[in-house]
Amino acid sequence: MFLIAGLGNPGEKYSHNRHNIGFLIIDKIIKNLTTNNINNPNFKSICYKAPNTIYAKPQTFMNLSGESIIAIADYYDISNDNIIIIHDDIDLEFGSLKFKIGGGHGGHNGLRSIDSHCGKDYIRVRVGVGKPSSKSDVANFVLSDFSKEEFKELNDTIINHTIKAIEDIKKTNDLTQIKSTYTLSVKKKDK
């Protein structure tokens, strides 16, 4: 069984925020699948069950995401090597996509929460959302909406590419192969 969770914040006002890229990807995945909703209040999450996979959008707000992830993983006895977390990454340019297991949280409070509840050795799908010019603007930046152009690019290419990568992660346990096939590296643009 896999647990594939997209990180974000619940509520309409956050729905197109950079911080909510995980929710956007989960929404697109389940749109094309036959799933059953799972109604378990202990999960603190909107969950969908498909064969051999639970898709989750934690409803705890970003900073407490680990509470939801650990509750689902414990209930279904899902090991960390079958947990895939999709999250925004400000250290990657918009349009970049990278994969890793473990490592630091890089200041991402959702990952910090998951690390504290589950440990660090889960699969991370890092979706680049760009970076503000000043460190003091990070909170406002990740809670800002994607531009219309960015949102179109997300829907036309980046989200679909990410979904293909996730499907292949489920098929093969070879993250090296996934990295070589699906990594997208966008260079910083001069302003």
- Token digits of residue 152: 């179109």
**67 domain residue, yes or no:** yes
Kindly report the number of other CB atoms within 10 A of residue 109's CB atom: 18
Q: What is the pLDDT of residues 34-71, one digit of tens each?
A: 889 999 999 999 999 999 999 999 999 999 999 999 99
Q: Domain span at residue 81?
A: 2-182
| Mean pLDDT on 136-149 | 93
Single-letter amino acid, residue 105: H
**189 domain residue, yes or no:** no
**188 domain residue, yes or no:** no
Cα(93)–Cα(184) distance, integer angstroms? 10
Is the predicted pLDDT of residue 191 greater than 60, yes or no?
Answer: no
**191 domain residue, yes or no:** no
The catalytic residues are 19
Q: Map residue 6 onto helix, strand or coil.
A: strand
Q: Is pTM beyond 0.75 here?
A: yes
| pLDDT of amino acid 133 | 84
Domain CATH code at residue 106: 3.40.50.1470
**94 domain residue, yes or no:** yes
List residues bridging with 6 in a β-sheet.
Answer: 86
Q: Map residue 41 onto helix, strand or coil.
A: helix
Number of domains, the chain: 1
